Chains A and B, each alone.
Chain A
């Protein structure tokens, strides 16, 4: 049973736009800081969001990053229209990458993005349809303590 969403925001991500890759993750991070989310949760979520954003820019045409905050958790979803992933288990292997040489030259393509997201998330879900797109769901649990001292 889900409780109500207390905060919601969407960010658009454009495939191929390496110039602005990372902007959405950065805006997201600033929102979480203002709300007073725990530093370590912000750090982990920001890393996951950044990796997810770069993957959309690299492998998809267009995507939406959505942040939903509930009293007890943060849900980050990243949904894209693009080539999709044929073998998710393989894509999740550290070091697996289909990045082209050009992309590697830009410093991406180590094959560590997805494993990194999984490592930093409390709950990580991924589903994908070839030639349609990919959907990621990253959940961070918030502690019961709502008030910071």
Chain B
């Protein structure tokens, strides 16, 4: 895998791409161009939100996940399914059935991430109680939100909750506990998330707040779906008898937007989902007008991780399934608060380093030249038809004007500018 591919979570399959430009129009950071004829990604602008993947009618945008060959390199394979998994197989199948089916498809151990989600919720509450840092504190759960802030809202980096998301905490705890209890060297344990998230691979290969991720890979819910479904169908009876696993509705509820703030009774909190609404609320935060909000949960996917691009179930049905489970499992805490305190002391939750600003490059490194280019860009834009037709291969006229200024396109590429 080349460096850029590792750095990002999607790639264009040029054989499948028909150049329709749907991805280009959907991209919130204008990272895509269809020039010449096929889509290409400017990885410098990509934040791994997965919008392109979601809209492509030809499956030409492919998510990058861990190959089975890479997983099989590990002697002891551990799956940590995202709580989203519990929404995917219909309302009759209970969490325990899914966990044992996952084990059967080739993992030595399966650990429900929902448990850590509940734990992390307690840590968030503790942090809000104890810390009087500037508000609103922004959730660190969604890796794309962190990237979006780094790129588009660099001045907000210091508002991000300095607590690792559940998948990192889970992997860190499991690696330590399994290697100690079963006497297996850490390098031989492979911790793999079963994920709805297109951005997960990047946050594993290039974690922003850790020296090295505790996870060893991620595979999509889509990838395991058929195999799990077959087992569930075959063994429905016996799996049904397995009873409830020790999880709470609080942990499972993290699969949908609002799950994080549900437990925060004493703090003014807001939950936002979807990339455009997230951008909008962050603009509000940046204007300094939202400091009344104490905690801001932002998830890039519509309705939260159940709307992740690597899921199978329709997100509205998935949401209903999760809500049903949260009712069945209730809000009773399952996590031992003494254990949480101990882990807190042992530093299992905090970032190793803060999220650093990485603003998009300006039009030029030299400010005076950047301003000249800005003026030129507007001059060109004024000449253009402003139809945002996309035939030139850029998502809209203003971006095309920028491409011309930067020498990436010629004015004649616009069919309205041809003599």
Contact = CB atoms under 8 A, between A and B. Distances in A.
Interface in A65-119: 69, 71, 107, 116
Contact of B362 (A29, A142, A148): A148
B286 A71 contact: no
Interface string B269-283: 000000000000001
Interface string A1-39: 000001100000000000000100110010101111101
Contacts, number: 70
B364 interface: yes
Interface in B322-378: 357, 359-368, 370-372, 374-375
Contacts of B283: 26
A35 B362 contact: yes
Given A43-B286, A47-B287, A147 B367 contact: yes
B129 interface: no
B287 A7 contact: no
A138 to B, nearest CB: 15
Contacts of A149: 365
B359 A50 contact: no
B164 to A, nearest CB: 25
B292 interface: yes
Contact of A39 (B155, B284, B370, B375): B155
B281 to A, nearest CB: 13
Instruction: State the majority secondary structure of interface residues on A.
Output: helix
B368 A6 contact: yes
A147 B374 contact: no
A33 B151 CA distance: 10
Contacts of B155: 39-40, 42-43
B13 to A, nearest CB: 32
B367 A146 contact: yes
A121 interface: no
Contacts of B370: 34-36
Contact of B287 (A26, A33, A148): A26
A6 B364 CA distance: 15
A103 to B, nearest CB: 14
A47 B366 contact: no
A22 B285 CA distance: 12
Contacts of A26: 283, 287
Nearest to B366: A147
A50 B289 contact: yes
B367 A29 contact: no
A46 interface: yes
A149 B365 CA distance: 7
A146 B286 contact: no
Nearest to A50: B287
A36 B365 contact: yes
A31 B155 CA distance: 15
Contacts of A47: 287-288
A131 to B, nearest CB: 29
B154 interface: yes
Contacts of A107: 289, 292
Contacts of B357: 39
B405 to A, nearest CB: 11
B278 to A, nearest CB: 15
Nearest to A25: B287
A107 B292 CA distance: 9
A116 B363 CA distance: 30
B154 A34 contact: no
Contact of A71 (B154, B284, B359, B368): B368
Contacts of B286: 29, 43, 46
A47 B286 CA distance: 8
A142 to B, nearest CB: 7
Contacts of A37: 367
Nearest to A40: B155
B157 to A, nearest CB: 9
Nearest to B287: A50
Contacts of B365: 36, 147-149
Contacts of A146: 366-368
Contacts of A69: 371
A51 B289 CA distance: 9
B368 A31 contact: no
27 contacts: A6-B371, A7-B371, A7-B374, A25-B287, A31-B374, A33-B359, A33-B360, A33-B362, A35-B362, A35-B370, A36-B362, A36-B365, A36-B370, A39-B155, A39-B357, A40-B155, A43-B155, A43-B286, A47-B287, A47-B288, A50-B287, A71-B368, A107-B289, A142-B367, A148-B366, A148-B367, A149-B365
Given A31-B374, A35-B363, A146-B367, 6 more contacts: A35-B374, A36-B363, A40-B155, A51-B288, A148-B362, A149-B365
